[in-house]
Structure 1
Amino acid sequence: MAQVLKPNCSLAGKSLIPIILRVKNADAEAVLELSRLKKDEPLESLTKVELIAQFEKLTGESVKDVLIVLCGKDDNIENMRLLVHESILLANSVGARGQRLSTSNPSTDTPAAKGSDGKAAQGDPSTTNQQLQAMRQDLDELKKNSKVLQTGQNLKKYEEPSGSKERQDILDAPPTSAPAFPFPGYGYQNPGFGFPYPNFYPGPNYNSGGFRPPRMQGGRGRRVSNGNIRDHEPLAKKEKFEPEIPDWELKSGFDPLSVKLRKQSDILLVNYKGEITQPSDCLPSAEEVVNGSDYDFEDLSFLDPNFFKAGNLMYCSEQWEKIGCPGEILDWIKQGGSLLRFKSSQPAYFQNSASCKGFEKFLCDTLLERIANGSLTVIGRVGECDPPLLVLPITIEPSKPRMCHDERYLNLWIKDFPFSLDTLKEVPRLIEKDSFMASLDDKSGYDHILLNPNSRQYFGIQFAGWYMVFNSLPFGFKASAFIYHTTGLVPISYCRSLGVPSLLYIDDRLVCEFKNTSLKKKSGHAELVKSLYILCQVLVRLGYFLNLEKCCFIPTRCLKFLGMFCDSAKLAFILPEQKKESFRILRESILDGNDVGIKTLQRFAGKCISFFLAVPSARLFSREINRAISLASKNSKKINIYKELKEELEYWRFLDNWKGTNCLLEIRNPFTMNFSN
């Protein structure tokens, strides 16, 4: 039966988003029965002009703005009927406009005085006074009931744990403030790769992940416990905020006061073998070596990674200026990454992740080392000092292990920073047959760049009853990789201009043989050592610490870079045995069951695709896997291992004993990469 517009129902001043969404995705001809404005007045009997008038009367909006602009529909009569039909349905669900509330207390219901004809007397002062008195009593009663209701809700809010509805209301609440973070453009990226160099969004970026910030309202902060977000008492009632600290943290024996802070004068110089050396003024510079000066790589001094000092690039800012560092990046080096204050900043506190339990010793050692090298500053004991503005949780990446700072809350306000990385696909254009290679790895990469002192309050942590803040870029901040990689491109680009072919992947560098047509070429081994000397000399004078244990200073024709062996003798990529073994374990664990989770199968598919550089046509052997993932992504159920999927998984067993390779010459030319069965 067709719905009829209820009396006094209107959408004036209401949101029309439900109507827009329904009309945009609906088909006018698919509606079986249209609603009616009146019982005996179907929409089919109205003309186009009458439909426009009725819609504007019902909603107060223009048909052209709603139907054409927002819904993207033509303004024909069928679409107009559909628009009025959906408007009637929404108006009936919203209901009639509100009326003046009155109590049912007989003592306050004073009837209006009536004249002899039964109508209310007009202009009678006594009648008017009685009506005003009744209205005042109604208003006083409503105020009294409102105060009682508010008090009861507030008491319930603090006495009972936050339920699902309350928690959802908090999570869905819009923020009241937003920071700004100026990250302007940078000219050292690929010339063909352009992207906007953004400032922070004026509000949180909810598309960056399934995590929303709680709204702080007049309290000292919020506490997150067992998945619930709870309010603390206002500052007027509670002066100190003391969070719940797990017993395993308190029993860890963490004592930051016993740490001796490292000074700049404590840094020693060592050679590439890690042996202590003395500084020398007679070593040729990178530019002199390019022009043909004699050099000895063993005389080159490095900063001792065992005495790493956070923010060391800042002490070498003059050298950065000499190589033409852009002003924006120079500001990061001199003043640190700046995060301006929130317009109305409020504290937030989050407990450390439960995954940290069992890694107490690792966390203690990591935090104490960070305090010593200056990447962390201890504020004080919990309850004895003011906490940082944001106290965000510590998490553990167990595979390394690596301590991470879970900054999803802060990252909501930060715009995405797209940038390009030099991957393994770039290797074939740098190496030739039987050419030599080497690799360099930075020590504690992100810690080379400090945060601005005014921004460190947003990067707080708590462990074992101690408040601390990060002084350098933390692992977990969305912009850290962008800042560090963009800064690292400056010396890489400078060395490329000197004739050193190299690739950069955040803190990993691949170095190839020196290329300079103005000088007579020596042996490949000597040209590689020359490239190493030039790049290392530039990095050291700019303040970089290199992880000497992970660096490969010995020229080789087969080098492991970004998890894959690059072999110039065979001109091929080769899978390490460790990768094969981890792939075999994952594959067999899937085949042992009758079903598999979508995340596990996605991880398996990702490994298959990553092998295409080393395994010819690897993409052809994951079609059924990708099909199963596509079907399962529509629901949360596990994927049943059906016959075709099982056969494809079993096919990958050939990799266990496979010794083949994929020729780099085929990868070098993208037009020869054909994948077909």
Structure 2
Amino acid sequence: MSIRNSKFNLKEEKIVDIEIEKLLKMNVIQEVESEINEFISPIFVRPKKNGEYRMILNLKELNKHIEYQHFKMDSFESALNLIKENAYMSSVDLRHAYYSDNIAEQHRKFLRFVWKEKYFQYSCLPNGIAMAPRLFTKIMKVVYASLRKMGYVNVGYIDDSLLLGDTELECKNNVTETVNLVSSLGFIVHKDKSVFTPKKCIKFLGFYIDSETMIVTLPVEKQDTIAKECKQLQSKNKCKIREVARVLGILISSLPAVEFGKLYYRKIERERKLKH
């Protein structure tokens, strides 16, 4: 099956050229010859928070052919349940986490795209494939189980993990052992996004956790986003269901830091369902 790319403007073309060159050097993709029974997916570019761009393989069609397998992933609430009062916390973020997992040779032909009449395929786990969160979670559970045997308490969500310790020294040792272990397994620690120094207030998965007050709060920028989105919705006489759903999604994502938050959005959710 082959799905071609949409048209790109000159800026986007340059971004794709740069990204392909980068991925080739990282051995994440490889140039290949076309063959029968391959699956060609389209690519697109998406801006990142730091102003850079990421090239994405659109695997929407391929995902329709992948059987969903249920799995349990640790949630933000899972992390909160492990935090004791006055605990010390650190975090370790993995860079290009999915790229650490190689794809079997015989399956790479299903992860192909075409650019300027050249064929490329992913040799590592790409972002966007339906099975990626499950596969990576299963791999990391083995890592965290090994650390638990050493006496350390960690909780992970895909490529981000929260490290805990009753004392500052215990948390420091947790950081050292975690970094050593994941590095020995071939993962790359993202030093800029990780917090190696133990703290009693830390940002994790978009929330601030304070072990002294045992309170979870939203960053100011997220508070501003919620207020802005709600005001824009209120200012409209009519709005599309998808606009309401998007704002509801933002509200729901903030619930861990908003006491009685569910009471504020349930009425909107009921009305959305009635008019859907």
**Same fold by TM-score greater than 0.5:** yes
> Which is greater in Rg?
1
Tell me by how many angstroms 1:616 deviates.
1.1
Tell me by how many angstroms 1:363 deviates.
2.3
Tell me by how many angstroms 1:386 deviates.
5.2
Tell me by how many angstroms 1:355 deviates.
7.3
Map 1:519-558 → 2, pairs under 5 A = 524-558=167-201
Map 1:211-290 → 2, pairs under 5 A = none
2:116 and 2:266 mapped to 1: Cα distance? Answer: 49
Tell me by how many angstroms 1:407 deviates.
1.7
Tell me by how many angstroms 1:406 deviates.
1.5
Identity of aligned residues (%): 23
2:19 and 2:203 mapped to 1: Cα distance? Answer: 27
Give the equivalent residue in structure 2 for 1:359: 12
Question: What is the total number of aligned residue pairs between the two structures?
Answer: 273
Contact 1:442–1:507 (Cα < 8 Å) also in 2? yes
Gaps of 5+ in 1: 1-347, 515-523, 634-677
Contact 1:356–1:394 (Cα < 8 Å) also in 2? no
Matched, 1:608 2:251: yes
**Aligned-residue RMSD, C-alpha:** 2.0
Question: What SS class does the counterpart of residue 254 from structure 2 fall into?
Answer: helix
Question: What SS class does the counterpart of residue 624 from structure 1 fall into?
Answer: helix
2:90 partner amino acid? A
Tell me by how many angstroms 1:379 deviates.
2.1
1:371 partner amino acid? L
Tell me by how many angstroms 1:429 deviates.
2.4
Q: Report the CA distance shift for 1:502/1:388 in structure 2 as closer, same or farther (over 3 A).
A: same
Give the equivalent residue in structure 2 for 1:427: 79
1:554 and 1:357 mapped to 2: Cα distance? Answer: 44
1:618 partner amino acid? G
Give the equivalent residue in structure 1 for 2:27: 374
1:526 and 1:355 mapped to 2: Cα distance? Answer: 52
1:527 and 1:561 mapped to 2: Cα distance? Answer: 19
1:449 and 1:411 mapped to 2: Cα distance? Answer: 18
2:229 and 2:47 mapped to 1: Cα distance? Answer: 17
Tell me by how many angstroms 1:395 deviates.
2.6
Give the equivalent residue in structure 2 for 1:391: 40
1:470 partner amino acid? Y
Map 1:428-447 → 2, pairs under 5 A = 428-447=80-99
Q: Report the CA distance shift for 1:631/1:356 in structure 2 as closer, same or farther (over 3 A).
A: farther
Contact 1:395–1:403 (Cα < 8 Å) also in 2? yes
Q: Which runs of 4+ in 1 moved over 6 A?
A: none
Q: Report the CA distance shift for 1:577/1:557 in structure 2 as closer, same or farther (over 3 A).
A: same
Give the equivalent residue in structure 2 for 1:41: none
TM-score, normalised to structure 2, is: 0.92
Q: Report the CA distance shift for 1:357/1:419 in structure 2 as closer, same or farther (over 3 A).
A: farther
2:211 and 2:205 mapped to 1: Cα distance? Answer: 16
2:271 partner amino acid? A
Higher strand share: 2
2:97 partner amino acid? G
* Structure having greater relative contact order (Cα 8 Å, sep ≥ 6): 2
Question: What SS class does the counterpart of residue 188 from structure 2 fall into?
Answer: coil
Q: Deviations over 1:113-169 (max 9, x none)?
A: xxxxxxxxxxxxxxxxxxxxxxxxxxxxxxxxxxxxxxxxxxxxxxxxxxxxxxxxx
Give the equivalent residue in structure 1 for 2:104: 452
Give the equivalent residue in structure 2 for 1:470: 122
Contact 1:608–1:622 (Cα < 8 Å) also in 2? yes
Tell me by how many angstroms 1:462 deviates.
1.0
1:525 and 1:370 mapped to 2: Cα distance? Answer: 39
2:208 and 2:44 mapped to 1: Cα distance? Answer: 31
1:418 partner amino acid? H
1:355 and 1:481 mapped to 2: Cα distance? Answer: 29
1:356 and 1:422 mapped to 2: Cα distance? Answer: 40
Q: Report the CA distance shift for 1:626/1:434 in structure 2 as closer, same or farther (over 3 A).
A: same
Q: Deviations over 1:18-47 (max 9, x none)?
A: xxxxxxxxxxxxxxxxxxxxxxxxxxxxxx
Q: Report the CA distance shift for 1:354/1:387 in structure 2 as closer, same or farther (over 3 A).
A: farther
Q: Which of 388, 398, 403 in structure 1 is aligned with 2:55?
A: 403
Q: Which of 204, 207, 220 in structure 2 is aligned with 1:577?
A: 220
Q: Report the CA distance shift for 1:394/1:356 in structure 2 as closer, same or farther (over 3 A).
A: farther
Q: Report the CA distance shift for 1:403/1:388 in structure 2 as closer, same or farther (over 3 A).
A: farther
Gaps of 5+ in 2: none
